Amino acid sequence: DIVMTQSPDSLAVSLGERATINCKSSQSVLYTSSNKKNFLAWYQQKPGQPPKLLIYWASTRESGVPDRFSGSGSGTDFTLTISSLQAEDVAVYYCHQYYSIPPTFGQGTRLEIK
Amino acid sequence: EVQLLESGGGLVQPGGSLRLSCAASGFSFDNYAMSWVRQPPGKGLEWVSGLRSSGGSTYYADSVKGRFTISRDNSKNTLYLQMNGLRVEDTAIYFCAKDNVPGGGGNPYDSWGQGTLVTVSS
């Protein structure tokens, strides 16, 4: 199984500042076909709610997701960046590899306001 | 609007059984692979099982293989998870989740239900 490891486990950032969450996979999730896609997604989960898809293919923003959210990285190292933290961004964030079965998730990163 | 509504959770003793259902609406259910993902209270996400759009191929996490069975009834737009031999460690909120594009699986999940709580305890 591919192990997904996020860092940090928790993060406190001031409103308007940048938040950065990292995700590392135990093996590459880059499919080296002609389109070279990274099978990596990011989700946001608020208390009492199901996860919400933010980013897929490592850097493609889901429809309706604010452009302050961006994803980057390739192979085994990925980053979710929130460029200017808003109060409504307080949540737990998960990375998810869908390159191989079983699909696996990172342990989550709790994002709070400083 | 896509809607996924889980039901069937509850309190069950170790060794018991439950059948979860996920009623889908707002999309062409028979074109999409579907999955079950669980979340123990206060903990992270764990993929449990997945099923291709046709229902012909099923996949399971090692932790539930041989005990859980995923199925779908495309005529009823419903996904199921039959859970037998339940263990205390199966206690979790169970979400059904839809692939973000039609096809056979291997995609992220763009729609999730609200989840149904399964508690295994004596």
Does A93 touch chain B if contact means CB atoms closer than 8 Å?
A: no
Distance separating alpha carbons of residues A15 and A2, to the nearest angstrom: 34
**Which secondary-structure segment (H or E) carries B35?**
strand B34-39
What pLDDT shows up at residue A33? 81
- What is the C-alpha separation between B81 and B21, in angstroms, rounded? 7
Contact A39, A33 (CB under 8 A): no
Percent of chain A predicted with pLDDT > 70:
99
Of B45, B61, B107, the CB nearest to A51: B45
pLDDT per residue over B53-73, tens digit each? Answer: 887 899 999 999 999 999 999
Residue B53's pLDDT is what?
Answer: 87
Which pLDDT belongs to residue B63? 97
CB contact under 8 A, B100 and A105: no
Report the pLDDT value the prediction gives residue B105, as an integer from 0 to 100. 81
Give the span between the Cα atoms of B87 and B16, in whole angstroms.
8
- What pLDDT does A34 receive? 66
- pLDDT of A57: 96
Size of interface A-B (CB pairs under 8 A): 51
Using an 8 Å CB-CB cutoff, list chain B residues near A98: 106-108
Q: What is the mean pLDDT of each run of 10 residues along chain B (122 residues)?
A: 97 98 97 97 97 89 98 96 98 97 90 98 96
**pLDDT, tens digit, 9 for 90 and up, residues A16-65:** 999 999 999 999 999 988 688 999 999 999 999 999 999 999 999 999 99
Measured between CB atoms, which of A50, A99, A102 is closest to B95? A50
pLDDT for B56 = 81
The predicted pLDDT at position B54 comes to 81
- Across the interface, whether the CB atoms of B100 and A51 are under 8 A apart is answered no
Both tokens assigned to A82: 């929130």
The answer to whether residue A106 scores a pLDDT higher than 80 is yes
For residue A62, give the nearest of B44, B46, B110 by CB distance.
Answer: B110
